[in-house]
Amino acid sequence: MAGTAFSVDTVSLSSTRGGSMASLRRTDTLSLPPSYEVSERSLGAGNRTHQSRPTIASATTSSHQYSTTLSNHAENLVTTSAGDVQLIPPMAENSIPSIDPPLYNAVSQLAERVTYSFLPHSLNTMVLVPLDLRPRYHISTGSNCFIPSSYITTIRRGGTEHDELVADFEMGDSKLPESVYIRGGEYHIKDAIKICKSAHLGRNISWKDRQAFYNNHQEWTLGSQNIEWDLSESTKVCTSSSRTSRAPKVLYAKFMPRKGRDLAQLEVMPEGQELFDDILISALILERTRLMLHSVNYGT
């Protein structure tokens, strides 16, 4: 197909014979990288506006690769009307936008709450993304090769399995105690997450209901400061700990478990951004615990 020239109007690109470079009615010069695909329909087949020109696409060919160059932001010509050329830049399967926006390097600058979704990415993998789809964390799960009934969840900062390790934890059917690895240390989960018994203070709770209340108030102890989870409702609420401070509780985050086909979501307040690692890891562990067959009844 070498030597094929292209004529482009404001929204369409059609093929003509002869000439060695593209001619644009807008007098622009656009460059088309070799990896761009030009669909069969876009070359004028069956398009009334191009009937006087030779048809060079066959019914058995779905696309062609051209080494022709078109300069000036050809990537912008990706949507056209029916029958026109569509310049489609190649995208890798499960591709994800840039994973390092400047905002994430200065979390203290966030002035508003941000809602993140747990978006399935590939087999046994999901990413935590805000509305702009730039992944904040990469979360993957796999079984322990020596104990297939025990699963290891790995959390990385960014959008790929090659990014910085934040933490991992292992839970499942095993003789070994459930554990979490974070900040270079490994801890038993029973020591990392404890019942927050002080949460009942000031409440009129009978002894009969107190254990259920305890089960729904869990405290994460491995961060720079303890955080407390209230699991009693369908939306799980993360606040500052009432045990370590008598000051009014500060709301850090809300976790909304998946319902039906909706994605699970994590809403993080500005005050919780600096504790994001601990909020996410504790939420994942508590949700795993809630959904395991032998777990106590946390909330709903």
Q: Are 268 and 279 in contact (CB under 8 A)?
A: yes
Tens of pLDDT, residue by residue over 189-223, are: 999 999 876 554 545 556 666 667 777 889 999 99
Q: Is the pLDDT of residue 47 over 50?
A: no
pLDDT tens-digit readout, 68-81: 343 444 444 444 44
Query: Is the pLDDT at 266 greater than 60, yes or no?
Result: yes
pLDDT above 50 (res 12): no
Cα distances (Å, whole numbers) of residue 92 to 64, 89, 95, 123: 18, 10, 5, 16
Whole-angstrom Cα Rg for the chain: 28
Q: How far apart are CA 120 and CA 118, in angstroms?
A: 7
Tens digit of each residue's pLDDT (9 = 90 or more) over 97-129:
544 443 444 444 578 999 999 999 999 999 999
Contacts of 271 (CB under 8 A, 6+ apart): 250, 251, 252
What does the DSSP 8-state code read for residue 42? Answer: G
Find the mean pLDDT for residues 231-241.
94
Q: Kind of pairing, strands 5-8 and 23-24? A: parallel
Percent of the chain residues past pLDDT 70, beyond the cut: 56
Contacts of 35 (CB under 8 A, 6+ apart): 65, 89, 90
- Could you list the beta-strand ranges (E) of the chain: 5-8, 13-16, 23-24, 37-39, 63-65, 87-88, 114-122, 125-129, 137-143, 150-157, 164-172, 179-182, 185-188, 193-195, 217-220, 227-230, 236-240, 251-256, 265-268
CB 238 within 8 A of CB 229: yes
Tokens of 70: 């078109």
As a whole number of angstroms, the longest Cα–Cα distance in the chain is 90
From CA 134, how far away is CA 114, in angstroms rounded? Answer: 13
Residue bearing the bigger pLDDT, 152 or 3: 152
CA 88 – CA 79 distance, rounded (Å): 9
Closest CA to 281 of 239, 227, 200, 231: 227
What's the confidence (pLDDT) of residue 14?
Answer: 41
The pTM of the whole model exceeds 0.85: no
DSSP, collapsed to helix, strand or coil, labels residue 150 as strand
pLDDT surpassing 60 at residue 239: yes
